[in-house]
Amino acid sequence: MLDYESSLKNSWNVVKENIVTFAVALLITVIGSILIVTLAPLVYGFTSMAIKAARGERIEINDVFVGFNKDDFIRSWTFMLVYLIVAGILGQIASILSTIVAILVMFTMPLLVIKGYGGIDGITESIEIVKTAPVESIVVYVIMLVLNMIGAILLGIGLLVTAPISTVFLAYATFELAE
């Protein structure tokens, strides 16, 4: 069984002894990854440094570049492409599903307040509203989304205005659609 405490303690000690080397290598990895093509080999190199250090071997800043060796470059990008494809597909599926769920239950909180429902009853009626008025529900969702995105773009401070506007808008929409 993994000894979490010992592994964390040893990790801290290794990093503490090599803090400057790891910090510089991490900066190289982060900044260098902006070029995209360097992402996989730099992450591979940084991981290689961590493994060397965990084995008690001496590490150097140049170790972050080992991923550019031909075989390591190919291996790192093979993994990265598989990962990005799988994560991208799963991310899109999750995004679509979460949007559908958000639309289906967006009227729930106002219904809990307006009608005094419990959670399940509120969700049930919210779903019925969406089934009865799907276009209107999607338009309400998009309007709220756009309002809150505008607020978020303004360094989040705009949410102090757009979040209340979208919540009041949702209340009005619920009054009309829940009749």
Cα four-point dihedral sign 71, 72, 74, 78: positive
Other CB atoms within 10 Å distance of the CB of residue 128:
14
* DSSP 8-state assignment for residue 59: -
**Each residue's pLDDT tens digit, 9-47:** 999 999 999 999 999 999 999 999 999 899 999 999 999
pLDDT of residue 119: 94
How sure is the predictor about 148, in pLDDT bands with cuts at 50, 70 and 90?
A: very high
Query: Is the pLDDT reported for residue 61 higher than 90?
Result: yes
Structure confidence at residue 64 (pLDDT): 96
> What Cα–Cα distance (Å) separates residue 23 from each residue in 16, 46, 72, 165?
11, 10, 22, 44
Span 112-137, pLDDT tens digits: 999 999 999 999 999 999 999 999 99
**pLDDT at residue 109 greater than cutoff 90:** yes
What's the pLDDT at 156?
Answer: 78
Q: What is the pLDDT of residue 81?
A: 95
Mean pLDDT of 59-72: 95
pLDDT at 179: 80
Q: With a cut of 90, say whether residue 155 has pLDDT above it.
A: no
In one-letter notation, the amino acid at residue 62 is N
Three-state SS letters, 2-13: CCHHHHHHHHHH
pLDDT, averaged across the chain = 94
Q: What is the DSSP letter of 154?
A: T
Q: What is 3-55 written as a DSSP string?
A: -HHHHHHHHHHHHHHTHHHHHHHHHHHHHHGGGSTTHHHHHHHHHHHHHHHHT
Residue 158 has pLDDT above 90, yes or no: no
Q: What percent of the chain has pLDDT over 70?
A: 100
* pTM assigned to the model: 0.64
